[in-house]
Every structure is written in C-alpha cells, then in structure tokens.
Amino acid sequence: SMPKLLVARAMFPDVLAQLSNFFELELNQEDRIFSQSELAERLQGKFGMICTSSAKVDQDLLSKLSGVKIISTIAVGYDNFDLHACTQHGVMATNSPDVLNETTADFAWALMMATARRVTEAEHFLRAGLWTKWSVDFFVGADLHGSCLGILGMGRIGQAIARRASGFGMEVIYHNRSQLSEEKELAAHHARYVDKQTLLRHADHLILALPYSPEVHHIIGAIELAQMKPSATLINIARGGIVDDAALIQALRNGQIAGAGLDVFENEPRFHADFLGLKNVVLTPHIASATERTRRAMVNRAVKNVISAVRGELPPDLLNPEVLEI
C-alpha cells in the first residue's frame, strides 16, 4: 500500500490529485487549526506532512510519533519546527524558500509606502465621511525618495527589498549577523553595513526582514525604539516576537516614532488590541507572500520536497541535513 501523507491545511485540488499519485492522503479541506494532540493523532502512522507555520513540531509532538520521515512547511520561516528534535527523531524538515522573495519584498514596500504616506488612515477618514475641506497640513507624511532605508536582516528578502530602493534614490544601510560580500552589497543598491545602533539612529524607514529565533526575541523593544528618529517608520514583514508589541504601542502613542506597518504579530492570529486604537499603524494579516503565483510556487516547492523524500531522493529544501547521518 502507498505511504500516508497528512495534508494538514486546505489545499488546491489539482495539487491533491498530484500527491495522490504517491500517497494515500489524509486531508483537512475545512482548514481547521489542529490542536497539538489532534496533530499527534493524525500524524501517527504517516510518512510525512505538508503543513504551514500554524503546526508546531517540537520534542513533545515528535516523541509521540514513530515512522514519520518528513515535515514540509509552506513558508520560508520555520521557527515552528524544532530542527534539533526533528533530527533526533530521524525526521527531515523542509521549507519553501526563494520563490517568495520578490513578492515579499514588494509587500514590504507596500507597507512602507502606506505607512509613510498614511494611506489607510486617510482612507478611513474618507470612508467615515469626514472629508470636508483640503488644508496644507492635511495628512502630511514622510517622503520615501531621498530618505535613508534601514534593513535589519539582509538575507534574500532583505536584499530584494534593498534593490527596489534604487528607483527612489534612497540610501540603504543594513545590519545583519554578517556583512554581505561587496558584490552582493553593490547588487543591493550599494547597501552599507552598519552596527545596530547606527541602523536605529539613521534609518528614516526601518524594515525588519530577519528570521525569528529565540535569540532575536524582542530585539526591537523600548530601548531600541527610543533610539529611532521621531519621524521614523518601522515595518515588520518578518515574524511576530521580533518586536515587543507592547513597547511598540507605547512608542507609537508617545510619538517616539511616527508610524509602523505590521504584517506579523506576537501570538497571531491574535494581536494586541491596543493597536486598533492607534491611527499611525497599518495592520495586515500576515499576507506578505500572498499572490496567486507565489502561493502556488510555495505549495509546489513543499510538494516537491515530500515527493523527493518518498522517492528516496534528497528533498531540495532540506533544513537538517544532519538527519541523513542518523
């Protein structure tokens, strides 16, 4: 009989048809979020799983399972996986990188532009019927062109964000675990490596594009926000938890920074209710990679990973190659 695959979230029908050539499928087309105990139950006896960031694969879950060979997430971020535990349990872990870089960079710009130019705030004003006159200080915001763009986390998405700055004549500075090669810096609109303090102090617009890990938990908190310009905007398209949301709310209230554009939140899909009472924040529900073409490409990548595994081939996006030595 065919190996079994859990498709833990709702999936395109043609993709399911493709997968059914290789696997006996267990589906969740109603797209419920499984509890940890239900996830363990459903994963029992499976060869693998296709999931999203909502599936937490940790020591506790893995210790309840046997025979699982691969977990494949439809996301570039894999902070929901304990890679060390996966390796210990002989489970290959894969993600879906690269195909979302340009789409995610586009969205970082959409959020930055909407935040700097107060697009959603102005639209709410119009929709509420409050527009009675035009005045010289009407919804004045901050320029992007000619300003300094700061990027924290200069991986493939950060570099794609930086490239777009050339059309706006922006200076780009960045901070990252390590400095890019000169060639990569040139390609990223001559991005200049700076320390974190300099990044915070000089950026007119600061975009967060780093992966989440416990080491970067609240790396942007009250102290960091206090170092930013009062005219600055902060954009997060990375992960909740990188920013201390409570501290950000205080900074937005006190005018310590001018505005924020947030696609990700601590504990999403829940979020700090106080954001809703602030005008100087643009809020979106984790949609930075959400274009038709890119979501398809991410799914295809997740599918390719599980099919490679079942064929005994190396999954192209294997995150824990150490597992092969076990």
Residue ranges that bind ligand GLV, judged by CB under 6 A:
52-54, 75-77, 100, 286, 289
Contacts of 203 (CB under 8 A, 6+ apart): 148, 149, 150, 173, 228, 229, 232
The rounded distance, in Å, linking the Cα atoms of 200 and 232 is 9
Nearest to 305 by CA among 13, 72, 145: 72
Measured at CB, which residue is nearest to ligand GLV? 52
Residue 268 annotated to the active site: yes
Q: Prior bond to 211 cis, omega within 30?
A: no
Question: Residue 230 Cβ, how far from ligand GLV at the closest point, in Å?
Answer: 30
Distance CA 50, CA 94 (A): 10
| Nearest distance in Å: CB 133, ligand GLV | 42
Q: How far is the CB of 193 from ligand GLV (least distance, A)?
A: 25
Tell me, yes or no, if 89 is annotated catalytic: no
- Give 88: exposed, middle or buried? Use CB within 10 Å, 0-12, 13-18, 19+: middle
Nearer to ligand GLV, 97 or 150 (CB): 97
Report in angstroms how near the CB of residue 100 gets to ligand GLV at its nearest.
6
Please pick, among 26, 117, 171, 268, the residue that the annotation labels catalytic.
268
- Are 194 and 172 in contact by the 8 Å Cβ rule? The answer is no
Residue 97 or 141: the one with the smaller Cβ distance to ligand GLV is 97
Q: Which of 202, 286, 295, 296 is catalytic?
A: 286
> Does 190 participate in catalysis according to the annotation?
no
Residue type, 194: V
Q: Is the CB of 12 or the CB of 139 nearer to ligand GLV?
A: 12
Q: Which is nearer to ligand GLV, 6 or 148 (CB)?
A: 6
Catalytic residues: 239, 268, 286
